[in-house]
Structure 1
Amino acid sequence: MAFFKIVPAVALALFATQGLSQELPPAPLRMLVGFAPGGGNDVIARTVATQFQINTKTTMVVENKPGGGSTIATGEMARAKPDGSVLLLGSVGGQAIAPSIYSKLPYDPVKGVQPVSLVAKSANALVVNAALPVKNVQELLAYAKAHPGELNVASPGNGTISHLSAELFKSMAGVFITHIPYRGDAPAMQDVMAGQAQLTFASLPSAKAGVDSGKVRILAVTSSKRVATMPNVPTIAESGVPGYEVVSWYGVFTTGGTPMPTVNRLAQEIAAVLAQPAIRETISKQGMEPSALGPNEFAQLVNNDSQKWEKVVRKVGIKLD
């Protein structure tokens, strides 16, 4: 499949040296989120938008456009005027997985989408309903094998990182668990809390909220190393599924064809947002690592993950229309 064309190195040098001479896109700016309010994408978008407005005195409105694993929101952004005024708080699921998993997309994933800046990276958490009689991954696997087809795994939608995390887990562990897609991280977590679904691969903010309610428990994290803020929670890899690793990221995109000076200015302002100690603390408290990358480096990250997940999609055999 095709991937993003990497901006030449001269553009990255321009990003580092041009200062803030390029004007911001015309206000009000719109930040689209491809999921319902309350999930990881939504939390990050609103955190960034609030500080962006304070820093620049420019209005940025966050709009939730759930559905299609973020493809609906991405499509609206891709069809916008290429002036940087419509942004997307995207993620690995919507931007690196969707092009491989969907037969048709309402936009060109290369020409229609311009990476602006990485915002944060995060492990996800394997979460189960508190009433499920399992306390660790080994017990979950044993239960799934003893009760084939009885467990439901919720996700924020088809083609999301949560969905692919579940499919990779099922494939590597050799268990049968039914996937149930929802329209966002929060609705998926709500049904796991209610017992309508038994498990999910949730963003850490969503998982923490569920644990605080007493209705779910975290069995493991998806990263290769334990999360610093949750040192007692093991990884899936060390809990019985060797080699398992999934890392989520969140980043800002804009319409393909937006002039690079505008893209660079937006990236600089996002970097300035992430440099604020209060913003870094807010993101870190949610179990995420704040991390700004310029357009060129971020495009490379998206390319690398697109290729990684294309192989997983092909191996597992997932295809959506």
Structure 2
Amino acid sequence: MTNRRRFMLALAASALARTAPALAETFPNGPIKLVVPFPAGGTADFVARLAGDRLSAQLKVPVVIDNRVGANGNIATEAVARAPADGQTLLLGSTPNLTINPALYKKVNFGTLKDFAPITMLAQAPNVLVVHPSLGVNSVAELIAAAKARPGKILFASGGNGSTGHLAGEMLQHAAGIQLTHVPYRGGPQAVTDLIGGQVQMLFFTVPTVMPHVRAGKLKALAVSSLRRSPVLPDLPTVAESGIPGFDATPWFGLLAPAGTPRAVIDRISLEIAKAWGDEDIKAKLAGQGAEPWTTTPEQFTAQLKADLVRWPEAVKRSGATVD
């Protein structure tokens, strides 16, 4: 490294050291933009708006929700990675855009751990493993036995290649040593429709979508995909306690800022979310989406990202899924 290069780096570091405290003291200095990589109306959008409303009330500034769809979330994620590191632009991160896409696409123009400063988790929303009643199974153990008796004959649907439902099915196959046949759909609703119609036999999908059909007797719920039972469905066992120890395929949502955002700003936002997320009203609203509140420190969020950047890409690799 040349002396001039060393000098320029030292100068930049000195400027950052002087600027960061100033940014923290003036934060927020105007509207905050919360970029959501998914369309309006879904669970991700709901969680983002809930967080945005509470942050707006507590920070006394507008929080504008920017639903920026495209490339399975990559466009929005890349945009926030390149935004100014001042806390005024945040990302609604999720399992797909931050931990699955880097393995699903041959190239993404962001690094989950390199380009973002994790703030706090917001919620986890486990999928439910449901089957068509005609399959004649009443538990995960019976499903595994049926799959072993008929390798490749049980069709498991998903909302598309690389979706959390698809990869949860891949994780189940690998952990249980069974062979299923994946049938990807262009979105979850059609997959659920065909499951109800008996064209496919099993599916991992969201609580609000499948549970009305379970209660109507059209589908049978076997387990949830989270490591521990969901308070939304306390009587439904987990896959892990149903014979597959350690099974965890839990989609989540969290808040992140561009890398380099002052730690004081990160801590301020994290603290405000922690305050808000203790309300019973928040818990009830998230429960309506099949989710539960989940706040963490930035360090805990970082640890979760590191673990999931192993778990989900391994499932992508085993499945052979790609969108390129």
Query: What is the TM-score with the length of structure 1 in the denominator?
Result: 0.76
Corresponding position of 2:206:
203
Partner deviation per Cα, 1:59-98 (whole Å, 9 max, x = no partner): 2233434454432331232233333333222222321232
The answer to whether the Cα contact below 8 Å between 2:156 and 2:180 also exists between their aligned partners in 1 is no
Q: Is the Cα contact below 8 Å between 1:39 and 1:206 reproduced in 2?
A: no
Gaps of 5+ in 1: 1-19
Among 109, 112, 117, the alignment partner of 2:115 is 112
Of 176, 184, 188, 2:180 maps to 176
SS of corresponding position for 1:70: helix
Pair 1:316–1:158, CA change in 2 (3 A): closer
User: Where is the helix percentage greater, Structure 1 or Structure 2?
Assistant: 2
Render the CA deviation track for 1:221-275: whole Å, top value 9, x for unaligned: 1234433442332322444545533233221122233333333332222223213
Comparing 84-93 with 211-220, greater Cα deviation is found at 211-220
Deviation for aligned residue 1:279: 0.9
Kept in 1: contact 2:170–2:315 (CA 8 A): no
Aligned to 1:70: 73
Q: Does 1:304 align with 2:314?
A: no
1:244 paired residue number: 247
Q: Does 1:30 align with 2:34?
A: yes
Aligned-partner Cα distance in 2 for 1:258–1:242: 39
**Alpha-carbon deviation of 1:142?**
5.6
DSSP-derived class of the 1:293 partner: coil
Q: 1:310 to 1:152 in 2, by over 3 A?
A: closer
For structure 2, the 5+ residue unaligned runs are: 1-23
Structure 1 CA distance for aligned equivalents of residues 119 and 128 of structure 2: 27
CA contact (8 A) 1:154 1:197 kept: no
- The one-letter code sitting in structure 2 at the alignment partner of 1:151 is L
Closer, same or farther: CA 259–247 of 1 in aligned 2, 3 Å: same
SS in 2 for 1:108: coil
What's the counterpart of residue 291 of structure 1? 294
Amino acid at match of 2:64: V
Question: Which one-letter code corresponds to 2:236 in the other structure?
Answer: V
Structure 1 residues 118-147: Cα deviation after superposition (integer angstroms, max 9, x where no partner): 112343211235666554434544665648
Equivalent position amino acid for 1:27 in 2? P
Q: Aligned equivalents of 1:53 and 1:193: distance in 2?
A: 42
Counterparts of 1:83 and 1:196, CA distance in 2: 51
**Aligned pair in 2 of structure 1 residues 83, 170: CA closer, same or farther (>3 Å)?**
same
Secondary structure in structure 1 of the residue aligned to 2:310: helix
Counterpart of 2:180, as a letter, is F
Preserved CA contact (<8 Å) 1:69 1:159 = no
Task: Name the SS for the 1:250 alignment partner.
Answer: strand
Note if contact 1:33-1:62 (Cα within 8 Å) is conserved in structure 2. no
Sequence identity percentage: 31
Letter matched to residue 245 of structure 1: D
Question: Does structure 1 residue 81 correspond to structure 2 residue 50?
Answer: no
164, 170, 173: which one pairs with 1:167?
170
- Counterpart amino acid of 1:80? A
Instruction: Tell me the CA shift for residue 192 of structure 1.
Output: 4.5
Tell me by how many angstroms 1:208 deviates.
3.3
Q: Is the 8 A contact 2:31 2:61 kept in 1?
A: yes
Deviates most, 164-173 or 285-294: 285-294
Whether the 8 Å contact between 1:31 and 1:60 is mirrored in structure 2 is no
Max Rg structure: 2
Q: 1:235-274 counterparts in 2 under 5 A?
A: 235-239=238-242, 241=244, 243-274=246-277
The answer to which of 93-102 and 298-307 deviates more is 93-102
SS at 1:247 equivalent: coil
Identify which of 222, 231, 236 aligns with 1:233.
236
Q: Higher mean Cα deviation, 188-197 or 101-110?
A: 188-197
What displacement does 1:214 show?
5.6
Higher relative contact order, chain-length normalized (CA < 8 Å, sep 6+): 1
Q: Give the direction of change, closer, same or farther, for the CA distance of 1:226–1:267 in structure 2 (3 Å limit).
A: closer
Q: Which deviates more from structure 2 when the two are superposed, residues 298-307 or residues 255-264?
A: 255-264
Question: CA 1:78–1:30 in 2, change beyond 3 Å: closer, same or farther?
Answer: same
Q: 2:199 & 2:66 partners in 1: Cα distance?
A: 28
- RMSD of aligned Cα (Å): 3.3
